[in-house]
Amino acid sequence: MIPRYSRPEMVALWEPQTRFQIWFEIEAHATDALAELGVVPKSAAQAIWAKGGFDIARIDEIERETKHDVIAFLTSVAEHVGEPARFLHQGLTSSDVLDTCLAVQLARASDILLADIDALLAALKVRAFEHRHSVCIGRSHGIHAEPVTFGLKMAQAYAEFSRNRVRLVAARADIATCAISGAVGTFANIDPRVEAHVAARLGLTVEPVSTQVIPRDRHAMFFATLGVIASSVERLATEIRHLQRTEVLEAEEYFSPGQKGSSAMPHKRNPVLTENLTGLARLVRGMALPAMENVALWHERDISHSSVERMIGPDATITLDFALARLTGVIEKLIVYPERMLKNLNKMGGLIHSQRVLLALTQAGASREDSYRLVQRNAMKVWESDGALQLQALLEADPDVTAHLPPAAIAGNFDLGYHLKAVDTIFERVFGPA
Amino acid sequence: MIPRYSRPEMVALWEPQTRFQIWFEIEAHATDALAELGVVPKSAAQAIWAKGGFDIARIDEIERETKHDVIAFLTSVAEHVGEPARFLHQGLTSSDVLDTCLAVQLARASDILLADIDALLAALKVRAFEHRHSVCIGRSHGIHAEPVTFGLKMAQAYAEFSRNRVRLVAARADIATCAISGAVGTFANIDPRVEAHVAARLGLTVEPVSTQVIPRDRHAMFFATLGVIASSVERLATEIRHLQRTEVLEAEEYFSPGQKGSSAMPHKRNPVLTENLTGLARLVRGMALPAMENVALWHERDISHSSVERMIGPDATITLDFALARLTGVIEKLIVYPERMLKNLNKMGGLIHSQRVLLALTQAGASREDSYRLVQRNAMKVWESDGALQLQALLEADPDVTAHLPPAAIAGNFDLGYHLKAVDTIFERVFGPA
Amino acid sequence: MIPRYSRPEMVALWEPQTRFQIWFEIEAHATDALAELGVVPKSAAQAIWAKGGFDIARIDEIERETKHDVIAFLTSVAEHVGEPARFLHQGLTSSDVLDTCLAVQLARASDILLADIDALLAALKVRAFEHRHSVCIGRSHGIHAEPVTFGLKMAQAYAEFSRNRVRLVAARADIATCAISGAVGTFANIDPRVEAHVAARLGLTVEPVSTQVIPRDRHAMFFATLGVIASSVERLATEIRHLQRTEVLEAEEYFSPGQKGSSAMPHKRNPVLTENLTGLARLVRGMALPAMENVALWHERDISHSSVERMIGPDATITLDFALARLTGVIEKLIVYPERMLKNLNKMGGLIHSQRVLLALTQAGASREDSYRLVQRNAMKVWESDGALQLQALLEADPDVTAHLPPAAIAGNFDLGYHLKAVDTIFERVFGPA
Amino acid sequence: MIPRYSRPEMVALWEPQTRFQIWFEIEAHATDALAELGVVPKSAAQAIWAKGGFDIARIDEIERETKHDVIAFLTSVAEHVGEPARFLHQGLTSSDVLDTCLAVQLARASDILLADIDALLAALKVRAFEHRHSVCIGRSHGIHAEPVTFGLKMAQAYAEFSRNRVRLVAARADIATCAISGAVGTFANIDPRVEAHVAARLGLTVEPVSTQVIPRDRHAMFFATLGVIASSVERLATEIRHLQRTEVLEAEEYFSPGQKGSSAMPHKRNPVLTENLTGLARLVRGMALPAMENVALWHERDISHSSVERMIGPDATITLDFALARLTGVIEKLIVYPERMLKNLNKMGGLIHSQRVLLALTQAGASREDSYRLVQRNAMKVWESDGALQLQALLEADPDVTAHLPPAAIAGNFDLGYHLKAVDTIFERVFGPA
């Protein structure tokens, strides 16, 4: 985690204060359940909630001695609660607290990320409808192909992030489980009803079978899902980087009016935000593999996953949160140049319509071979003129062409509407009925 | 893909015969829809189904000339169908065929993998119930902790692969979409109803917005999911490798009666199948990253994803299919040694019960400090005897202990049943009510 | 490995014939050394070389029974050699043969890859000198910056692949070791001089300390190095893909005269080779991680590395060999458009020289603030004209500018030579003195 | 980077103070060179060194306004230096400073890591010689094979980390280059001699051809090398984790005399340090891939690498530094149990010698089949007795065996020295002549 790629809410989630607060709630809820079961006095459970608290500096101090974070925490709580504190943590194992806390943190992190995706979806939808019919050239292999609209690009991203939302909801469910099952998960020293109570209070489901730890396939799936979402961030960022290239310039990241590009070169506005997002995507993606390697713990558990999660837990969620928010800002403020889109679209002198003319000639009775030859000899002239000649004009002036197709019929094939007729259908698929 | 780690059904799915057959069906279904819409004659559509076919050697021959696989395929089909073949592929783009075919292949691959998981789940369930109460030591950090049962280990794996099944079903849905939308996905030359028809016939859903290609976040999620499943394979394989270690030997991969371990050393039975599975897991996991890098294609598409998918499409599915089947065989035939489990469990002279004695002393009125001291001084003797002394006997002979707890009360703490009382509850969570 | 991305020499290296031939040589050389040491008869060693051979179909047949490839091989050899065959493999372990064979294969693969890099370097050098002074715009962030030359781009790639060559030589040395040390690497049953003899004959160094297997950090380093080289392939491929974009079109992959782009659209020449290389780079890179995971084998060895290497050994080397050769072909035949480069360079109406004018104004005595304001107000007009106006003309017509700099002095700042003066120096750094 | 897995020296290297200090030195050295070339006054260069300084809080304040870190830094320096500050940064580009600074940081990080490896090598050497002849069982596949010594295990690790040292020296050379070449690397505004001077002063080599940035294949190779080293850390950590398993217990991580294992269970000493190292290895390894993805920057540069390096630059070096130091501590203090090694070695009742007896019988004239049968029938009894019977005794009592080999001859085959005779040879290979 580095401050410049972090947002406060997600950072706060991973700070000691939050972690210890969650620990406290787990312990206090567990004590409630134990009191209900008659294992500890109800008065003790009440006292814990009433007087409970902890002191981070004190916990650090104790941990330096004991080298055990949960014991240090419990000692600090005991200093607040007094005598009833001895009823805390009865039958629990440290991992019960640690793993359930991680589940709460990842579930909350998911909620922030889901809100991030929602904000991004909202921004994409606005821009999609705004530019539903802003025609631009579609490019395959980086080469001009046929017309699309800028709104379709936004709709595509909307559909992609809608899928990511579904995936993240599933990943959230995967990691939101509670385990309070003791040293090897057998409930030898604790009643399963305690687990059920804590789970319910924290909004988690019960881990069906734990082994001191919650199984790590859950976390692997979670981080792999973040990696996929990050890859979608990269895709949209890459699109914008391409559109902002000097030679293309169909869209630009927002520059404030007074902002200097680069000293005296007004064109030097760099897509630094989307380039940055490209790098952040690499980082988040790279964290999926250590998470997958964490799955194969030895027997009932080893602790090799812990150092991995201490790093990627905060890093992956903080980085993706930042990336999604940055991307949303980029989309919201993106400067779109529809005129430039048209100019680029027409750059080829109408060659993008050549296939349709070819089809029209065939349908008008020309053989496929003749049609091809007629179109190509005119297309080649347009191409070699580098934008000076227009295909429509050349065809209309070519008697071999007009022998099949009168000029009026030729013109009809240069209609952009032909390519846009299904845009509304696609929008309805993506955004639902209007 | 290498033959020794392959199974025929999955291999067949990726062979040219299957691919061309799917292409044929896509084209023929599309022609049906075009006929229904009045774009092509119904007789042509019927002729295509009636006379349709292709010749792989001929396709290869044509492709060597044209360098274009779909054109080569269509030419070969035309050689079977004759004149009506000119109504094939009307308004389609090669990618419509290629991407929809990949969707069919990955969906079918998912079905095979789901069947593999079902077989594995069945095997795990049998062994879980068979060894529901086969007590063995639970190990955290590789160190003896408290008792579990071998059935619980199997139940844990069952729960994990049940989760993997859910994930794979979701991943299958993610990739099972059909796109027949033309050069840049705008349906300029084809009616969206053709796509809907083909999708329905092939058991796919319609891709809401494609861009010549089906978006690759779907495939990234698919291969990431295979990576997680492979990691679970590794976890279970690692467990067996540990259990088969010479010093542990609580379970062994099956050896046929006549099979030689290693010449004259009868103990030299190596867990080579599960070691092999560990390596296969690394391979499948490693394929998730190229799949994620494939997401950010340029603009409406570039073709960089293609070489990646030509390799990992077959390799990841074939390898995981093989691995799941091999793992199922290992579980089904695994030789389990309950006596050895007990022997290992008791190796520590009863130290695994020390915590419970400590608790009993405290509850009997001894201070926590005294209880600890009393247990530890006896525990230390047991530990230093390396298996010669038993904790229970020592405690019963220690008057400072018996002052608090009479021998009968001591014995009660050495009851294994204490640790197993929740096994049935856990089984019910995992397998449902009996 | 898939045939379309494979070249025969590298494929042959991984075929059974080659593997068994190397096995034979290892065994025969070892027997020579044993004969020299008096352990086996010299006549036996001679007979092995004289009559030695094997039959792959026969080996397969035996392996189906014995499930042991080395035993099957030895049996087949014995069927050729007769009685003296019993002196083969004395004191050797299967892994001695397998791991030393892999070392030979990877060393030979390295030699092919080194030759590939040499061919690529040669192609890059030719194009670098050819276009040493072909000026084009340098782009940072995809935005026009200042002039470079196309030759410099080639020189940069040359320097990068020169570094890759050095890395591959080191990686080759890392994996080219021979281990013939027995079941756990202690030479209990074999004299270390046998290992030294075989190593010398096969052009390998001796593994200082093996443990049945050659340590896998060597292979991890090898495959990581291939991953870095693949990433360099991706970089150069990406450059070409960018240059071939419709709006840029400064270079194109070669199209044969008769080759059709896409039916009637003559501009539809797609950079499919370099897109393909981008995908291949992802594949090779992804194989580095399983190789790194192979390092931590258990104790003296487990066999989890084997399945990984059976796949990535051929796949990574075959794919990278193909990629390097394809890239060399792309570079050799790349169609370069210097006029288009100039046209693009001038697209900004001379704005790329604005910084230098700014500096000239400052040096002529204008304050930094004034200089900036004067340049920017003219630059902005150029920018807004989208190519219609030229900065030089505007400046020469701006009396506030000419008050400081006479038109002749202004013109001097629009000299491209200013940017190219160090090109020869850089070439000398990269290619050595002329 | 997280504090608990960090050491101060490496952390300091990545702190703002260090970075700005390096920036200052780059700028000041560059100004020296410019003064020498007569571009700026020598007095200015002297003044910069004399009065130079910066204020981090002030830099942060300015950066909040300008959003440009290098400008903020230069402004702060100017506030210390006064008027001569205007001669700073003449002809330089921000990336000249940033990339050269990163080179200095990575080179210094390498030096720390090299010292870490040296300390680890020293520790390994001490333990290797200490236990050169401490016999223990060698295990392949986790199964007892033949004897090795604990010293050999240490020697193996020594050889492996010696190789890693060589690799890191190469990686250091790869990233230790200086680029001061201007906006697109053409030296348009700066003399190459400035670069040469700064490089020499900072202990770097000159980057032969840069493109605003130093090419990222260098950094990819660097981080890939750290990934390989981390994998070796994992290998040694895994060995120790295995040796510390309850059933094996041939070595243990150090526990201070007063340290509690787990309350009353004296055997509960967990190998938490080496488990932690296993996780850290996963993290460092995972960072190699984003570094490889950084190679293919667009054209002369994009800035996507930057966010990746801001994270993995510190994280990979800090984590590996910590891991190497922790591993060194583990090795230095490792508690080794040679008696337990012997006990485990003998656990199989002498079966580990069965192959050698087999060979002796054959050499004494028994047929291979008879020899095998005789050994195996006795071996099987030993195996089934689970440690109660000894192979040597059974063989000596088997008249069919003694018919070929008298008891004295049998005993000779149970000599451990047979397996250890090459230990000194191996040590000489690894550590050099005594």
Looking at the structure, tell me whether residues D125 and D192 fall in a common domain: yes
* Percent over 70 (pLDDT), chain C: 97
pLDDT, one tens digit per residue, over A387-412 is: 789 999 999 999 999 999 999 899 99
Q: pLDDT grade, residue D388 (50/70/90)?
A: confident
Looking at the structure, tell me whether residues D293 and D360 fall in a common domain: no
Q: Which residues of D touch B270 (CB under 8 A)?
A: 140-143
Average pLDDT over residues D181-193: 94
Last residue of a domain, one of C344, C361, C390: C344
Looking at the structure, tell me whether residues B315 and B363 fall in a common domain: no
- The answer to whether B1 and B8 have CB atoms below 8 angstroms apart is no
* Position B198 pLDDT exceeds 90: yes
Q: Residue C354: which domain range? A: 349-418
* Position A255 pLDDT exceeds 90: no
Q: Which of A43, A68, A262, A304 is catalytic?
A: A262
Looking at the structure, tell me whether residues B48 and B150 fall in a common domain: no
Closest CA to D382 of D398, D403, D371, D402: D398
Q: Establish if A216 belongs to a structural domain.
A: yes
Chain centroid, CA D54 distance in Å: 36
DSSP letter for A208, please.
S
Q: pLDDT grade, residue C259 (50/70/90)?
A: low
Q: Which of A141, A256, A263, A299 is catalytic?
A: A141
CA distance A334 to A244: 10
Looking at the structure, tell me whether residues C58 and C138 fall in a common domain: no
Q: Establish if C124 belongs to a structural domain.
A: yes
pLDDT, one tens digit per residue, over B75-114 is: 999 999 999 998 999 889 999 999 999 999 999 999 999 9
CA distance A145 to C51: 65
- Name the minimum distance, in Å, from the CA of C264 to any CA of chain D: 31
pLDDT of residue C263: 55
CATH number of the domain within which A35 lies: 1.10.275.10
Burial of C155: CB neighbours in 10 Å, binned 0-12, 13-18, 19+: buried
CA distance D142 to D145: 9
Beta bridge partners of C178: C206
CA distance B286 to B231: 11
Range of lowest pLDDT (A60-74, A115-129, A304-318, B92-106): A60-74
Q: Given CB atoms, is C221 within the 8 Å cutoff of chain D?
A: yes
pLDDT of residue D53: 93
Last residue of a domain, one of B27, B52, B87: B87
CATH number of the domain within which C290 lies: 1.20.200.10
Last residue of a domain, one of B43, B64, B87: B87
Looking at the structure, tell me whether residues B399 and B383 fall in a common domain: yes
* Percent over 70 (pLDDT), chain D: 97
B–C interface: beta-carbon pairs under 8 A: 96
Q: Establish if C286 belongs to a structural domain.
A: yes
Q: pLDDT grade, residue B293 (50/70/90)?
A: very high
Average pLDDT of every residue of chain C? 94
Looking at the structure, tell me whether residues C267 and C399 fall in a common domain: no
Q: pLDDT grade, residue B260 (50/70/90)?
A: low
Average pLDDT of every residue of chain A? 94
Q: pLDDT grade, residue C373 (50/70/90)?
A: confident
Relative to beta strand D143-149, strand D135-140 is antiparallel
Q: Which residues of C touch B293 (CB under 8 A)?
A: 282
Number of domains composing chain A: 3
Looking at the structure, tell me whether residues B274 and B414 fall in a common domain: no
Looking at the structure, tell me whether residues D15 and D157 fall in a common domain: no
Residue A200's CB: how many other CB atoms inside 10 A? 14
- Name the minimum distance, in Å, from the CA of A412 to any CA of chain C: 18
pLDDT, one tens digit per residue, over A338-391 is: 999 999 999 889 988 988 888 889 888 888 788 888 998 898 899 888 878 999
Q: Establish if C249 belongs to a structural domain.
A: yes
A305 is catalytic: no
A141 is catalytic: yes
Q: Given CB atoms, is B243 within the 8 Å cutoff of chain D?
A: no
Closest CA to B349 of C78, D266, A144: D266
- Name the minimum distance, in Å, from the CA of D293 to any CA of chain C: 7
CA distance C28 to C35: 10
Higher pLDDT, D317 or C189: D317
pLDDT of residue A393: 94
Secondary structure percentages of chain A, helix, strand, coil, to 5:
70, 5, 25
Average pLDDT over residues C19-25: 98
Range of lowest pLDDT (A313-322, C118-127, D263-272): D263-272
CB contact under 8 A, D269 and B143: yes
Residue B96, H or E segment: helix B94-130
Q: Given CB atoms, is B344 within the 8 Å cutoff of chain D?
A: yes
Q: Which residues of A touch C140 (CB under 8 A)?
A: 270
pLDDT, one tens digit per residue, over C321-344 is: 999 999 999 999 999 999 999 999
Helix axis angle, A69-81 to A56-66, nearest 10°: 130
Q: Which of D6, D76, D80, D141 is catalytic?
A: D141
Q: Which residues of C touch D215 (CB under 8 A)?
A: 156, 159-160
* Position C264 pLDDT exceeds 60: no
Q: Given CB atoms, is B143 within the 8 Å cutoff of chain D?
A: yes
CATH number of the domain within which C362 lies: 1.10.40.30
* Percent over 70 (pLDDT), chain B: 97
Looking at the structure, tell me whether residues C333 and C196 fall in a common domain: yes
CB contact under 8 A, C292 and D295: no
Q: pLDDT grade, residue B259 (50/70/90)?
A: low
Higher pLDDT, C347 or B291: B291
Residue C249 backbone dihedrals phi, psi, to 5 degrees: 50, 50
Looking at the structure, tell me whether residues C195 and C290 fall in a common domain: yes
* Percent over 90 (pLDDT), chain D: 82
* Position A207 pLDDT exceeds 70: yes
Q: Establish if A206 belongs to a structural domain.
A: yes
**Terminal Cα distance for chain D, rounded:** 42
Q: Establish if C425 belongs to a structural domain.
A: no
Q: Establish if A428 belongs to a structural domain.
A: no
CA distance A197 to A45: 14
Helix axis angle, B192-202 to B16-36, nearest 10°: 130
* Position C257 pLDDT exceeds 80: no
Looking at the structure, tell me whether residues D294 and D421 fall in a common domain: no
Which ranges of B184-337 would DSSP assign to H, the alpha helix?
192-202, 217-243, 272-286, 288-293, 304-333
Cα atoms in the 13 Å half-sphere on the side-chain side of D332: 11
CB contact under 8 A, C423 and D186: yes
* Position A261 pLDDT exceeds 80: no
Nearest CA in chain A to C142: A245
Residue B335, H or E segment: strand B335-336
Average pLDDT of every residue of chain D? 94
* Position D264 pLDDT exceeds 80: no
CA distance D220 to D413: 53
> What ipTM was assigned to the predicted interfaces of this complex?
0.96
pLDDT of residue B388: 87
Average pLDDT of every residue of chain B? 94
Q: Given CB atoms, is D53 within the 8 Å cutoff of chain A?
A: no
- The answer to whether B20 and B59 have CB atoms below 8 angstroms apart is yes
